[in-house]
């Protein structure tokens, strides 16, 4: 099992995934904000399976382009307005029948509201998230469900070549 996390923050999600992943599984995680990187490194060093977590430092938009191995699970938890920009690389990296989990997709329900009902400064990020959700719900390679729990989570399965959406 190979996991890619886009957006490490302080490492909480990577550590939680490492606690339940099977032996031999690995996590690659990406973070660009230096204070979070340092805290994540400290947290990984204390985690029982921290040696199975590889932290890549830098902008996910750049790092994703350099990766080439397939991942069975990709967990998107980075800057919400960037999900749509990461999608091409994420789909390229997601193994057939792999799972893409996109966190915080409803942003407290704001994404479902009219753009006029949200503050002007938040309109761009919400438009990008609506575009992202529309794209993953209608993408021919993905079967996607959106769960309205917390700030919302989208779970997408990449259909294999012979299982293209009907």
- The partner residues of 57 in beta bridges, in order of sequence, read 31
The string of DSSP letters for 39-103 reads HHHHHHHHSTTGGGEEEEES-HHHHHHH--S-EEEEEE-S-GGGHHHHHHHHHHHEEEEEEEEEE
| The pLDDT of residue 158 | 98
Structure-block tokens of residue 52 = 């199975």
What residues contact 6, with CB distance under 8 A and at least 6 apart? 29, 30, 60, 64, 74, 75, 76, 77, 78, 86, 90
| The pLDDT of residue 119 | 56
| The pLDDT of residue 131 | 92
| The pLDDT of residue 112 | 47
**Mean pLDDT in runs of 10 for the chain (166 residues)?**
98 98 97 98 98 98 97 95 95 98 77 49 72 96 93 93 47
| The pLDDT of residue 161 | 59
| The pLDDT of residue 114 | 47
Q: Structure pTM?
A: 0.88
| The pLDDT of residue 57 | 98
| The pLDDT of residue 40 | 98
Structure-block tokens of residue 75 = 């967990």
């Amino acid at each position: 099992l190979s996991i890619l996390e886009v957006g490490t923050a302080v490492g909480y999600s990577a550590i939680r995934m490492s606690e339940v992943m099977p032996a031999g599984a690995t996590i690659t995680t990406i973070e660009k904000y230096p204070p979070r990187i340092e805290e994540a490194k400290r947290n990984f060093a204390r985690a029982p399976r921290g040696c199975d977590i590889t932290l890549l430092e830098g902008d996910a938009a750049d790092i994703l382009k350099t990766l080439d191995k397939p991942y069975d699970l990709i967990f998107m938890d980075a800057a919400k307005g960037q999900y749509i920009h990461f999608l091409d690389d994420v789909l390229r990296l997601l193994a057939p029948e792999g799972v893409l989990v996109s966190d915080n997709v409803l942003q407290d329900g704001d994404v479902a509201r009219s753009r006029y009902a949200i503050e002007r400064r938040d309109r761009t990020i919400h438009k990008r998230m609506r575009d992202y959700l529309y794209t993953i719900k209608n993408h021919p390679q993905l079967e996607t469900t959106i769960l309205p729990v917390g700030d919302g989570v989208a779970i997408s399965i990449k259909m294999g070549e012979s299982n293209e959406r009907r």
